[in-house]
Amino acid sequence: MTHGGGDVRAIAFYLPQFHRVAENDRWWGEGFTEWTNVRKAVPSFIGHPQPHVPGELGYYDLTDPAVRTAQARLAHAYGVHGFCYYHYWFSGRRLLERPLDAVLASGAPDFPFCVCWANENWTRRWDGLEHEVLMRQDYRPEDPRAFLTDLLPTLRDPRYITVDGRALLLVYKAALIPDVRSAVATWREVARAGGLPGLYLVACQTVGETDPVVLGFDAGCEFPPHGHRAVWRNASVRMTNPRFRGIVTSYRAAVAESLDVALPPFKLFRTVMPAWDNSARRPDHGTIFTGSSPELFGWWVEQIARQTRAVHAGDERLMFVNAWNEWGEGCHLEPDALDGRQYLEALARGLARRD
């Protein structure tokens, strides 16, 4: 695959939880994958499009190399520059690592990627039992060095996405890291000692302190729907789930808010989402955005791509998409039975459009 430079690079977040692992079997039941929640989803109101049923890729297993190749071909065909894999690392112990490990070991698919350290506790959050921690982030004193040392082979891969030669590394909740500036200094030192030109560190705009300058990072990255001021629409739908205590809100309002926001003084990469509905994971407490359409999504992409060209130059012309395959959050570019490839087509059109 060939990958052009200079213009906006759209990078899609990528969830690896579509294969069995022993921990999930133990925590959630035999055979659990992300598809378990997706298949069980039911509508909460009249016209609520649940469950999300996958299209041409089917209920895939990411341990199958043919699936990973098909994903990359599809993404590339519609203008996705690369995937950002979630990286689950707990003081040296990893989870859901098999898909990316297989990509690294096999050299296929030939498609750019980077990683985002999903550095939060693994909890029973989907069941609403946030206090029950299944895997804890301990942040031991030796962790910063161990984390980056473990990651070096990944960062050295020729497909790994860089910004001016520096490996692009995202952190989901950077503010949770104790003495984060010291940890970041250690990461940079280990990277240089490991032969890398450096790191380009991006703090996702999620919780706590998100100013990358304060954190010692290079830039921030939006993470919608984090930070969205919900427009309450519960009263405008006819509920069929009497237990529903979540939020029904407006996708159109989220797009309008995104385009109206004042840019911060620090370097910020914008992020779009095709839709959002996490009621598959949280049936009675989900957040459901109504009114998404391929046309509106494509228009949002076009506006954000235009802004990205105006604000950033060269390798820093990055925009992110949440997400490639967050099926349990109703948030996926991957084709589904309802819309087929329409969101991918909208992405391609939005990226290609020029004034």
Q: What is the tens place of the pLDDT at every residue in 79-108?
A: 999 999 999 999 999 999 999 999 999 999
pLDDT of residue 132: 86
What pLDDT shows up at residue 355? 66
The whole-model pTM stands at 0.97
Question: Does residue 2 lie in a domain region?
Answer: no
Inside any domain, residue 290 = yes
Please answer whether residues 201 and 169 qualify as being in contact, where contact means their C-beta atoms are separated by less than 8 angstroms. Answer: yes
Q: What residues in the chain have per-residue pLDDT under 50?
A: 2-5, 128
| Contact residues for 164 (Cβ-Cβ < 8 A; gap 6+) | 200, 314, 315, 316
Residue 127, pLDDT score: 52
**pLDDT attached to residue 354:** 83
Give the pLDDT of residue 129.
54
Asked if residue 81 belongs to a domain, the reply is yes
Q: Does some domain include residue 320?
A: yes
Written as one letter, the residue type at 147 is: F
Closest CA to 272 of 303, 247, 312, 315: 303
User: What is the number of domains present in the chain?
Assistant: 1
Query: Which pLDDT score is estimated for 124?
Result: 82
pLDDT at 317: 98
pLDDT at site 118:
97
Query: What is d(CA 292, CA 233) in angstroms, rounded to the nearest whole number?
Result: 14
pLDDT of residue 168: 99
Please report whether residue 126 resides in a domain.
Answer: yes
Are 187 and 147 spatial neighbours (Cβ–Cβ below 8 Å)?
yes
For residue 62 the two structure tokens come to 């990411």
Note the pLDDT of residue 5.
42
Question: Which residue segment(s) compose the domain that 260 sits in?
Answer: 9-352
CATH number, domain containing residue 15 = 3.20.20.80
